[in-house]
Copies of this chain bind each other. A is one copy, B any other.
Amino acid sequence: MTVNYNQEVSSVNSFTFVKLLMTWRGSIWKSVRWELTMWILAFAVVQCFYRYLMTENQQRFFEYAAIHLNVRLVHIPLTFMLGFFVTIVVDRWRSVFTNIGFIENVALSVGTLVAGTDHAAKVLRRTIIRYLVLSQVLVLRDISMRVRRRFPSMESLVTEGFLYRDELEKMYKCETMYNKYWLPTHWANQLVHKAMFETKNVDSVQSMNSVLMNIKDFRQSMEMLTKYDWVPIPIAYPQVVFLAVRVYFIICLISRQYLLSAPPTEAQSIVPIMTILQFVFFVGWMKVAEALLNPLGEDDDDFECNWLIDRNMSTGIEIVDTCHDSCPPLKLEEPDD
């Protein structure tokens, strides 16, 4: 489930921030807790080692190294790498999310233009919707681990009622080494075509083409998803950014130690409070990028594909069947306004 906090920020005041900050799911706290704990432990270990186990000569060498590294930490352009990278990742994430297909458009089109109140017409409309959601399930199975776990095999689609056994056999018969996401869409198209020329449920070729266009738009948004899955951001880019952040803080384990030889004007703190803050901000920022890199993954903030499938199936069926005939009569006799 994505983490929704819109109500909490509906108005800016000083409490907005506190409420926002105390959210746990999907939060910066949740994402940095392990790495921060490990880093602090490592820092303490290095500190003990340096203070109690080293000879004086070793200590002096350690101090030289710490100063040397600390001065050169600026060579790692963490801020800008993260800033530019996150911007790109957020752009991509937004494209994915505007291409998450909702069924309403096509269902409303089918519900209006594929007319008929008899049983056959209802089954026809239901089947079109079912095929469209099915094509979405096929796509999402190959993209989202959560959907894959829910539908581990094609058989499970039959069990869950997205597919009848004879349809599954038809699918198997259609042999291709490439994906078959298009097959249910093709069936839906054929049904619309038949509704026009055989059962006359569609009133005209114009209306038929309207329905087909809506089906095409639905399919196309799923094609975009497969494209985004097929071509991720080139791997070297996240590698270089994520590596830079980690290496930076590994070097900090040495370079940010408080040195015994430091002048007394430096507070002799043993808790590197500022480095811990820096860790939280940079690693937290990086975690945003990591979470958004695969928007259909399994993070707290990723899209809820299984919810989407159920919702599309249910809403689609409501529109074309259950509530199809629910239009209230016009109030001719009531006063205007």
By a CB distance below 8 angstroms, the chain B residues around A291 are 12, 234, 236
A104 adjacent to chain B (CB < 8 Å): yes
A43 adjacent to chain B (CB < 8 Å): no
Q: Are B236 and A284 in contact (CB under 8 A)?
A: yes
Among the listed B17, B124, B181, B266, which residue makes an inter-chain contact with A64, where contact means beta carbons less than 8 Å apart? Answer: B266
**Distance from A144 Cβ to chain B, minimum over Cβ atoms (Å):** 8
Give the number of chain A interface residues (Cβ < 8 Å).
179
The oligomer's copy count stands at 5
A27 CA to B242 CA, complexed, in Å? 13
By a CB distance below 8 angstroms, the chain B residues around A287 are 12, 236
What residue of chain B has the Cβ atom nearest to residue A269's Cβ? B68
Interface residues of A in 226-270 (CB under 8 A from B): 227, 229-240, 242-244, 246-247, 251, 264-269
By a CB distance below 8 angstroms, the chain B residues around A21 are 239, 242-243
A315 adjacent to chain B (CB < 8 Å): yes
Interface residues of A in 90-115 (CB under 8 A from B): 90, 92, 94, 97-98, 100, 102, 104-105, 107-109, 111-113, 115
A67 adjacent to chain B (CB < 8 Å): yes
A126 CA to B112 CA, complexed, in Å? 19
A57 adjacent to chain B (CB < 8 Å): no
A16 CA to B321 CA, complexed, in Å? 45
Interface residues of A in 282-329 (CB under 8 A from B): 282, 284-285, 287-288, 290-294, 296-299, 301-303, 311, 314-315, 317-319, 321-323, 326-328
What residue of chain B has the Cβ atom nearest to residue A202's Cβ? B205
| Binary interface encoding of chain A residues 68-108 relative to chain B, with 1 for a CB under 8 A from any of its CBs, else 0 | 11001101111111011011101010100110101011011
By a CB distance below 8 angstroms, the chain B residues around A94 are 92
The majority secondary structure among interface residues of chain A is: helix
**Distance from A1 Cβ to chain B, minimum over Cβ atoms (Å):** 10
Q: Are A290 and B16 in contact (CB under 8 A)?
A: yes
Stretch of A48-56, A151-159, A165-173 with 4 or more beta carbons under 8 angstroms from chain B: A165-173
A203 CA to B208 CA, complexed, in Å? 11
Interface residues of A in 189-218 (CB under 8 A from B): 189-194, 196-197, 203-210, 212-214, 216
What residue of chain B has the Cβ atom nearest to residue A291's Cβ? B12
Among the listed B64, B247, B332, which residue makes an inter-chain contact with A119, where contact means beta carbons less than 8 Å apart? Answer: B332
By a CB distance below 8 angstroms, the chain B residues around A296 are 10
**Known interface pairs A203-B205, A236-B288; 19 further A-B residue pairs with C-beta atoms within 8 A, sorted by A's residue number:** A4-B229, A6-B294, A10-B296, A10-B297, A12-B287, A14-B38, A27-B236, A65-B267, A77-B79, A83-B83, A88-B90, A108-B219, A109-B216, A112-B189, A124-B330, A164-B328, A173-B326, A187-B328, A207-B209
Give the 4 A-B residue pairs with the shortest CB-CB distance, closest first.
A10-B297, A64-B267, A72-B274, A240-B284
